């Protein structure tokens, strides 16, 4: 079609050659009709259904490929036991973790109760310590670092060495 309408340089040919154009269109139409006829005949030749007959050997092979109930039990029984064991292990583990968490919670609750009771019993000493820390920070630091314990130990050792009880022996 392009050869009919266009020159080699790409310009449009003179329309005076209309007989050539009409013959090219007719050739193109006849070629399309032939291809459509071929497609229609090919579609008619495609079968809509197929009949297949199996021989006895193929029928036996197909029958053995289907799983029977006892084969199903033989195959799935180990799988079911394995899954059951896995679920049992998971449940046992979760119960053990739950029990240990409950025991720890109980121990922590007891410890908290003991600390609350200790805090109530020693409330006066704690308030005195806070008072001492706020009003006498230098002495509190010495007490906190343990220097007072060294001083008491030194004093006690002096008392023991110079006591009259030692000279009585």
Q: What is the DSSP string of 45-81?
A: HS-S-------HHHHHHHHHHSPPHHHHHHHHHHHHH
d(CA 47, CA 43): 9
Q: How much is the average pLDDT of 38-67?
A: 81
Report the mean per-residue pLDDT for the chain. 80
Q: Is the pLDDT of residue 45 over 60?
A: yes
Q: Which residue has the higher pLDDT, 103 or 158?
A: 103
């Amino acid at each position: 079609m392009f050869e009919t309408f266009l020159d080699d340089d790409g310009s449009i040919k003179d329309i005076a050659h209309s007989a050539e154009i009409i013959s090219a269109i007719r050739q193109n139409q006849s070629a399309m009709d032939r291809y459509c006829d071929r497609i229609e005949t090919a579609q008619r030749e495609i079968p809509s259904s197929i009949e297949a007959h199996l021989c006895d050997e193929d029928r036996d092979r197909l029958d053995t490929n289907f799983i029977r109930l006892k084969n199903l039990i033989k195959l799935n029984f180990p799988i079911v036991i394995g899954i059951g064991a896995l679920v049992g292990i998971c449940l046992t583990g979760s119960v053990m973790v739950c029990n240990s968490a409950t025991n720890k919670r109980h121990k922590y609750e007891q410890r908290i109760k003991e600390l609350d009771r200790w805090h109530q019993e020693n409330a006066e000493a704690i308030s005195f310590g806070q008072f001492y820390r706020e009003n006498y920070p230098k002495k509190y630091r010495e007490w906190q670092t343990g220097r007072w314990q060294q001083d008491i130990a030194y004093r006690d050792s002096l008392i023991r060495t110079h006591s009259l009880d030692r000279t009585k022996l």
